[in-house]
Structure 1
Amino acid sequence: MDIESALSALAALAHPTRLEAFRLLVRHEPEGLPTGALVEASGLTQSTFSTHLAVLAKAGLVVAEKRGRQQIQRAHIDTLRQLMTFLAKDCCQGRAELCEPLLADLACC
């Protein structure tokens, strides 16, 4: 991931509605959620929420899949992995043992 992609993803997640929607989608991987369920969870109107969804999609954090008549939204886990790797790659000047608490936190959840 390059700096521009990282900034785009971070900017997309820097809004409470988008961050919560993305976290909800991550919890529902790999099956995803219908767009209507995301709108309902957000408490916003369809048109307002679709703007937030478009920002997440443009940043590569969310992908849509057509399943029958429903539009299913899924978190793009590969983009999340790339962003997390980008942020942690130079962690602690290459001293991996300093990142072990972070890895332990991830493993427990």
Structure 2
Amino acid sequence: MDDDLAISALAALAQKDRLATFRLLVSAGEQGLPSGQIAERLNIQPTRMSFHLSALERAGLLRTHRDGRRIFYAVSYAVMKDLLEFLTKDCCSGHPEICCDLGPQHTETMATRL
């Protein structure tokens, strides 16, 4: 992943509703969810939801597939993985063991730092 793609992905995630959407879809798995269900679960108006889904899709973070009349949105796990690898590529001055397990039980949270 190059700088421009990373900036595009991070910019798309730098909004509360889009971040919540992405996190919901990460937990939904490869099948994803239809846009109406995403809007309902997040209590976002469908027109606003469409705007946010489009922004995430343009950034390459989401993929879509159609099932009848419904459009399903799912995370592009390959792009998500590329972004995470891009962000941690030169991790910790050659000591990747510091950040190799990014699970919450092993990291200081932003909430504790703020």
2:64 partner SS: strand
Q: Does 1:75 align with 2:75?
A: yes
Task: Please say if residues 42 and 49 of structure 1, whose CA atoms lie closer than 8 Å, have aligned partners that are also in contact.
Answer: no
Aligned to 2:57: 57
- Structure 2 CA distance, aligned partners of 1:50 and 1:64? 12
In the alignment of these two chains, the number of paired residues is: 106
Aligned to 2:7: 7
Aligned-residue CA RMSD (Å): 1.8
Segments of 5+ residues of structure 1 without an aligned counterpart are none
Which amino acid is the alignment partner of residue 27 of structure 2? R
Structure 1 runs, 4 residues or longer, greater than 3 Å off = none
2:93 partner SS: helix
What pairs up with 1:34-49 in 2 under 5 angstroms?
34-49=34-49
The normalised TM-score by structure 1 is: 0.89
Deviation at 1:97, TM superposition (A): 2.0
Segments of 5+ residues of structure 2 without an aligned counterpart are 107-114
Distance 1:85 1:106, change over 3 A: farther
Deviation at 1:66, TM superposition (A): 0.5
Which amino acid is the alignment partner of residue 65 of structure 2? E
Deviation at 1:46, TM superposition (A): 1.4
Which amino acid is the alignment partner of residue 27 of structure 1? S
- Structure 1 CA distance, aligned partners of 2:60 and 2:105? 25
Deviation at 1:107, TM superposition (A): 9.5
